[in-house]
Amino acid sequence: MAKVYLNKKIAPRIANGHPWIFSNEIANIEGDHNPGDIVDVYYADKSFCGQGYINPKSQITVRLLTRTHDTIDETFFYNKILNAWKYRQRLGYIENCRLIFGESDDLPALIIDKFNDYFVIQTMSLGIERWKPAIISSLNKIFAPKGIYERNDVPVRELEGMEQIKGFLSDPFDTKIIINENGLQFEVDIENGQKTGFFLDQHDNRRAIAPVVKDADVLGAFTYTGTFEIHAAHYGAKSVLGLDISENAVAQANRNAQLNKLDHIVKFEAINAFDCLKNWSKEGKLFDVVMLDPPAFTKNRAHIQKAVSGYKEINLRGMKLIRNGGFLVSSSCTNLVSPDLFLQTIEAAAHDAKKRIRQVTFQPQAADHPILPGIENTHYLKFFIAEITDK
C-alpha cells in the first residue's frame, strides 16, 4: 500500500476530522498506486493520519475513509451501511431516508437514498466507484430491496475522470414509485427527477409550516413537484398557488395534488417565479404566506456574492407580497452561503422592503442528513420562517 505524507503546514481541519486532502497539502507519496487505490496517510512527523482512496486527477487527491488501521474490504462497507441504518432507525427515519450522507457517514462521495424498498445511489469519486459492487452487495444483504438504481448523471464525476451514467443496478423496475411523507403521498421519479428523484432533506421542514399556513392564502415559488404546497393544503390552507418554470415538475405537482385529493385547494402554474415575484410585488398582489425554495444559486466560491444578491432579491420581493402579519418561509440549499450569511441577507432584504421580521424558526436539513462540526459541506440547508410586519 502506498504511503502519502502531508506537508508540515496543513489546514487544521484535517487533524480536526475533515476527510478531504487537497493536492497542495501533500509533501510526497511513497510506493506505487493507481487512481482509486486505498493508501495510508501520514502527517509530516510520520504519525498515522488514516486510510483513504487516492485520485491524482482530482483536486481532492485523498478522501479519508478511516482514522484507524481498518481492513478496507466488503465487510468494512457492510458495517458502515448497517451502522448508518441503525442510526436512522433510532431517529425514526425508517420508510424513506438518506441512508448514506457522504462524509457524515464516513463514506466520502457516496449518497444513498432509501425510498420504501427502493434505493438510489450516487458514487461521485473514483475511489468510492471502485467499491460499488461491495455497496450493492451490502444493500442486498441488509435490506433485500425491490430495486437499486444509480443516478450518476452528475457533472462532478467528470472532475474525477469518470463518465456520467444512470441505470439499474438490480433487475429493472418501474422507476416511478409512490412514497409516504407526513401523512401524504408523493410520486418519486427515480430515473428522471432532480438529484435522486425527491428532496428528502426538507422532510421535517415541510412539517414545520403547519402552524403558519392554516386558513391562509399561500404562494409557493420554485415549487418543483409541489411538496411544500401540498403540505400547506393538508395543514389547512385556504388556497395555495405553486409556481415553477418546469412544465414537467408542474405536471408531477398536479399529479401529487390529485393523489392526495387536494387539487381543489392547491393549483400549480408553469411560469418563471423570478418574474412573478417581481411583477406581482409591483402590482400589489398579497398573500398570507409566501414560501421560497429555490435551487442552489452557485457551487462556485467566485460567485457567492451573486448568489447572495439573488437570495436578497427573491426574499425582498417575497416580503412585499405578504400581508401585514403574514409569514415568510424561505430556504437556501447553497452550501457556500453560510447560515449566518443567509440570515444577514434576509435581514438586508427586510430593511430594503421596509419590513420587520420576527423569527419563528431557523433550522437545517432533516436529521437523516447529519451535520458534522468542522465539515461545512454537511451543513448546507437553511430553512427560515418569520412573521413579516410593516415598520
**Domain boundaries defined on the chain:** 3-66, 74-175, 199-390
Classify domain 3-66 by CATH number: 2.30.130.10
Same fold: 3-66 with 74-175 = no
Using pLDDT thresholds of 50, 70 and 90, give the confidence band for residue 336: confident
Cβ atoms of residues 149 and 167 within 8 Å: yes
Of 146, 124, 326, residue with least CA distance to 219: 326
Strands 287-292 and 239-244: unpaired
Give the dihedral sign, CA 58/162/152/130.
Answer: negative
Note the pLDDT tens digit of each residue in 285-304: 999 999 999 988 877 777 78
| In the predicted structure, residue 237 carries a pLDDT above the cut 90 | yes
pLDDT of residue 381: 96
Using pLDDT thresholds of 50, 70 and 90, give the confidence band for residue 1: confident
Please work out, in degrees rounded to the nearest 5, the angle formed at the alpha carbon of residue 194 by the alpha carbons of 328 and 105: 90
C-alpha–C-alpha distance, residues 250 and 269, integer Å: 7
CATH number belonging to the domain at 199-390, selected among 3.20.20.30, 3.40.50.150, 3.40.50.2000, 3.40.50.300: 3.40.50.150
pLDDT of residue 107: 98
Please state which CATH class domain 74-175 belongs to: alpha beta
Residue type, 217: D
**H or E element that contains 122:** strand 118-123
Work out the mean pLDDT of the chain and round it to a whole number. Answer: 95
% of the chain at pLDDT higher than 70: 100
